[in-house]
Amino acid sequence: MEKVNTKDKKSQKTKFYFSLLTSHFLPKKAQTAMELAVFGAILIFVVGAIVRQALSAGYMQNQQLRAMRQAMTTSYRYSTGLAGGGGGSGDASHQTASVLFVEDRLTAESAKYAAIDRTPYVASAAATYSRNLFLPVDAGEDFNLPVSDIFINGKHFPLTTARFKRVHLVDMGLCSDNCDPTCTDCSGGSTELYQIPDPAVEWEPNCLEQTGPCASMCVRQDCTSCCTDCSPTSTQTFARTLGCAKLYDVVYNHPGFTEWCNHDGGPSLRSCDPVCPPSAPGVGVPGCNLSADERFDLDRDGATDVPGAERGDFSWQWYLVMGWDAGFELPGGVDALGNPIPNPVQASLLRGEGIVLEPSSCKRNCKSPRHPSVDVGDRNSFGDLDLKRESIMVNTKERDPLPPNANGVDQTTGIIKQFWVMDRQDGDLDLTRGDSDPGLDPGLQKDVKMYSFVRDSGVDGTYFRVEEGRLYAASGDTSQYIRTAQKKDQIDLIERVVQLSNDTGRFCTDTEAVNNDPGVWPAGLSNPVEACGNCFGAGNIQRTCMDKNFKVIIVRSRVADRRGRKWITPTGGDETVDFAVPGVP
Amino acid sequence: MLEFTFCMIILFLMMYGIIMVFRWVGLDLGQRQKAHEALLTSPIDPNYGRCTTWVLGVCTSYVNEVTGPLTQIDPHFSTPAPMNAVWSGD
């Protein structure tokens, strides 16, 4: 008798049960179909993902190339005078054109009513056409102010990144010309000066010393050495101390800046000596400037901010500049041989340095500019509050561009009374803003809201539509049988917020009206803001609106979407479906 | 054996399909870039913007400025091909 092994028995049992299981649940004949179905589904998903990504990449590439070309075109057109307010010579507003495109595009998807999701595509570019790279810009030429262009769903927002503004330093003049209440002698021929500093400006009363013979200028009041004999044969001299505005320039920690210093005292090259002595009439050291502690008082609040050990590695410091035209000379005369004789009345600074700015009309023997950009006032007094320098417009030295067209420099002392600046922190957008600056980040904010309107207040309304398995004649083509149609008629309202740095009045007037002044919006440009104030009221909720209180433009893009998809089966020659649509009884 | 062959044929067809999809999407990107660069370096009329007729010291007609660099830097150089998959009719 054959002995059956227990192990073999177990194996046979297992095979039996497995064959039962596989024949019932996993029929071998369907394995191929199942594998193909699973693999095919995965493959179709992958193909869909590729198509979707390809569409996205295509949009992005198209937008990037378009942004780059738009920047080049813009810079070219404005620089050559084909656009902008500069006439045939072109203007400087888009020397370097900066363009930002934001577009919300439909994605590739298989939704119930065709694609409804939108993806924002953002691309930016900058380009420079160098034709007007050194174009001298004068105050009052607003068309030359730099502009950054933002396009949001096709709507153009040209935002200025600077503004011209007048900086008033002091009212001053001869008491004989204008008898100010502070004058003591207003008689004709009086050489007494009155000075009324602007309260918003840091003022140094002991800034400038003016000296000269009493025979040339009879100074009897407000002087450290006054005239008692003003006859033509007088040998007396006078001396008087005048005030001027304290301005601040920046010097950098580089060997090219010889003004840089780290510490007071000592013979080393980086010493701040001479440091200006405390202010007193007639007291000063020509060429003296701020102490090391004052130079490194970065916010100018009276306390130094950079410890001594770190000053050698710090990048910048303040430098005192006085509101005095260092290129100013009182007109003298000529001798018998025609040689110039300098005016015997002279002025010299008791502290700091003056400003040298030749007018743009200067063609020969022009002095090199000195301190053409300064910061005015201190953090606590001046409305600017930015501790950043402004560029002085040289044309305003001779003549104010606005009435009464006053001369910016006092013609007897050289003290600067006012000038215009191009302030790069005072445009629609302050692109110089750093992390330490107060306030909100200007520009396009991250928040986006999208509303879809499928029915308006009219009788027609709008719709989401799905038609399936229904017979009807397609418009103008009776030979087609439409199997499925998915369509919509909606408006996507996409809301974004552009935070402005300043309300320059370009978009909305002071009376909360939309600014359509052709001086601000010349031909070819239109104000993109459609409403001012009450941005969330029923009348304005769908409009691009500016809120002057918060200095924001709420951009509302209205994008109509009437697209969809349909599946069309050609019916020509098909006996089954090629029949006439029955007429309506 | 027959089943394996059938599977492999289907598999090859699917892989061919995927490769074609890759090729299609790559071509689209490549061709747009190529069109962009070709247009940027395309020849222009060197006389663009110049005066052609002077009357008493005043220029009365110019060579159109558009024939100059503006042709090379046209922002709308590429338009997406219309897709039959999108239905914008009634």
Is the same domain home to B50 and B32? no
Residue of B nearest to A487 (CA): B87
In B, minimum Cα distance to A562 occurs at: B88
Indicate whether A481 pLDDT > 80. no
Residues B48 and B34 occupy one common structural domain? no
The pLDDT assigned to A494 comes to 93
**Number of domain units in chain A:** 1
pLDDT, position A367: 85
> In this predicted structure, what is the pLDDT of residue A33?
74
Q: Which residue of A has its CA nearest to B83?
A: A565
CB within 8 Å: B14 and A43? yes
A202-223 average pLDDT score: 88
Instruction: Give the confidence band of A18 by pLDDT, cuts at 50, 70, 90.
Output: low
CA distance, residue A431 to nearest chain B CA (Å): 26
Interface of A with B in 207-266 (CB under 8 A): none
Helix (H, G, I), strand (E, B) or coil at A582: coil
Calculate how close chain A gets to B90, using CA atoms only, in Å: 8
Distance CA A35, CA A49 (A): 21
pLDDT of A160: 95
In degrees, to the nearest 5, what angle opens at C-alpha A64 toward C-alphas A430 and A86? Answer: 50
Average pLDDT value for residue range A124-152: 90
CB < 8 Å to A80, chain B: 49, 65
**Dihedral angle of Cα A69, A72, A78, A82, to the nearest 10 degrees:** -60
Chain B residues with CB inside 8 Å of A61's CB?
Answer: 29, 32-33
Tell whether A366 is within 8 A of chain B (Cβ): no
Q: At residue A28, does pLDDT exceed 90? A: no
Using CA coordinates, name the residue in chain B closest to A60: B29
Q: What is the pLDDT at residue A24?
A: 54
Residues A124, A101 contacting (CB under 8 angstroms):
yes
Whether B73 sits inside 8 A of A32 (CB atoms) is: no
- Please report the beta strands in A401-509, taking only residues with DSSP state E, as ranges in sequence order: 418-423, 443-453, 463-468, 480-499
Helix (H, G, I), strand (E, B) or coil at A61: helix
Q: Is there a single domain that holds both residue B36 and residue B68?
A: no
In-domain check, residue B82 = no
**Nearest one of A547, A531, A438 to A497, comparing CA atoms:** A547
Task: Give the pLDDT of residue A112.
Answer: 78
Q: For residue A22, what is the enclosing H or E element?
A: helix A6-25
Same domain, B1 and B36: yes
Q: How confident is the model at residue A66 (pLDDT cuts 50, 70, 90)?
A: very high
Q: What is the reported pLDDT for A477?
A: 54
> Maximum CA pair distance of chain B?
94
Whether the CB of A565 is below 8 Å from some CB of chain B: the reply is yes
Q: Of A22-31, A54-63, A452-461, B23-32, which range is least confident?
A: A22-31
Helix, strand, or coil here: B51? strand
Whether B87 is covered by a domain: the verdict is: no
Residue A364 domain flag: no
pLDDT of the residue at A381 = 47
Q: Which residue has the higher pLDDT, A383 or A497?
A: A497
Nearest to A76 among B32, B69, B88 (CB): B69
| Rounded distance between C-alpha atoms, residue A394 and residue A397, angstroms | 6
Q: A96-106 and A147-152: which strand pairing?
A: parallel
Q: How many Cα atoms occupy the beta-carbon half-sphere of A324 within 13 Å? A: 27
For B17-42, write each residue's pLDDT tens digit.
888 888 888 888 898 899 999 999 99
**Whole-number pLDDT of residue A315:** 94
Q: Do B27 and B47 fall into the same domain?
A: no
pLDDT of residue B14: 85
Residues B36 and B2 in one domain: yes
Identity (one letter) of the amino acid at A117?
D
- Domain presence at residue B1: yes
- In whole angstroms, give the CA distance from residue B78 to residue A462: 32
Residues B54 and B21 in one domain: no
Domain range spanning residue B70?
43-75
The closest of A72, A49, A71, A83 to A123, measured between CA atoms, is A71
Number of Cβ atoms within 10 Å of the Cβ of A103: 21
Flag whether A143 is in a domain.
yes
B27 and B51 in a single domain? The answer is no
User: Closest residue of B to A564, CA-based?
Assistant: B87
In A, which residues are within 8 Å of B88 by CB distance? 562-564
pLDDT tens-digit readout, A304-354: 999 988 998 999 999 999 999 988 888 777 778 888 788 888 888 999 999
Kindly report, residue by residue over A226-261, the tens digit of the pLDDT. Answer: 888 888 888 899 999 999 999 999 999 998 888 899
pLDDT given at position B62 = 81
User: What does the pLDDT look like over A359-368, one tens digit per residue?
Assistant: 777 888 888 8
CA distance A236 to A217: 10
Percent of chain A residues past pLDDT 90, beyond the cut: 34
CB A119 within 8 A of CB A104: yes
The reply to whether B85 falls in a domain is: no
What's residue A124's pLDDT?
95
Q: 């239109």: which residue's tokens? A: A526
Question: Where does the pLDDT of residue A470 fall: very low under 50, low under 70, confident under 90, or very high at 90 and above?
Answer: very low
- Specify the higher pLDDT residue, A36 or A170: A170
* Residue A278: cis peptide before it, omega within 30 degrees of 0: no
pLDDT at A469: 52
Mean pLDDT for A539-562 is: 91
- Residue A30: band (very low, low, confident or very high) from pLDDT cuts 50, 70, 90: low
Residue A578's pLDDT is: 46
Q: Is residue B26 located within the same domain as residue B59?
A: no
Statement: residue A582 has pLDDT above 60:
no
Residue A152 belongs to some domain of the structure: yes
The two structure tokens encoding residue A176:
């004989």
User: Is there a contact between A80 and B10 if contact means CB atoms under 8 Å apart?
Assistant: no
Average pLDDT value over all residues in chain A: 83
Query: Which residues touch A442 (CB under 8 Å, ≥6 apart)?
Result: A429, A430, A431, A433, A499, A500, A501
Determine which of A2-6, A117-121, A494-498, B1-5 has the lowest per-residue pLDDT on average. A2-6
Which pLDDT score is estimated for A70? 94
Nearest residue of chain B to residue A58 (CA atoms): B29
Closest Cβ opposite residue B90 in set A35, A62, A475: A475
Domain range spanning residue A38?
32-157
pLDDT at A569: 61
Instruction: Tell me the nearest-neighbour CA distance from B50 into chain A, angstroms.
Output: 13
Q: Do B48 and B33 lie in a common domain?
A: no
Tell whether B37 and B49 lie within a shared domain: no
Q: Which residues of B touch A565 (CB under 8 A)?
A: 85-87
Is it the case that residue A398 has pLDDT exceeding 50?
Answer: yes
B17, B25, B33 member nearest A54 (Cβ): B25
Q: Are residues B19 and B52 in the same domain?
A: no
Flag if B70 and A50 touch (Cβ within 8 Å): no
Residue of A nearest to B65 (CA): A82
What is the predicted pLDDT for the residue at A473?
53
Indicate the residue of A40, A58, A73 with minimum beta-carbon distance to B29: A58
Q: How far off is chain A from B54, nearest CA to CA, in Å? A: 17
For residue A275, being part of any structural domain is answered with no
Q: Give the amino acid at A123.
A: A
Domains held by chain B: number: 2
* Domain contains B8: yes
CA distance B55 to chain A (A): 19
Asked whether the predicted pLDDT for residue A161 surpasses 90, the reply is yes
**Closest-CA distance of chain B to residue A526, Å:** 20
- CB-based contacts of A369, cutoff 8 Å, min separation 6: A356, A357, A358, A394
* Between A383 and A489, the higher pLDDT residue: A489
Nearest to A43 among B18, B24, B89 (CB): B18
| Chain B touched by A38 (CB under 8 Å) | no
Question: CA A124, CA A268: separation in Å to the nearest integer?
Answer: 49
Q: DSSP secondary structure string, B5-23?
A: HHHHHHHHHHHHHHHHHHH
**pLDDT score of A511:** 92
CB atoms within 10 A of CB A430: 23
Cβ contact A102:A153 at 8 Å: yes
What is the pLDDT confidence band of residue B8, given thresholds at 50, 70 and 90? confident
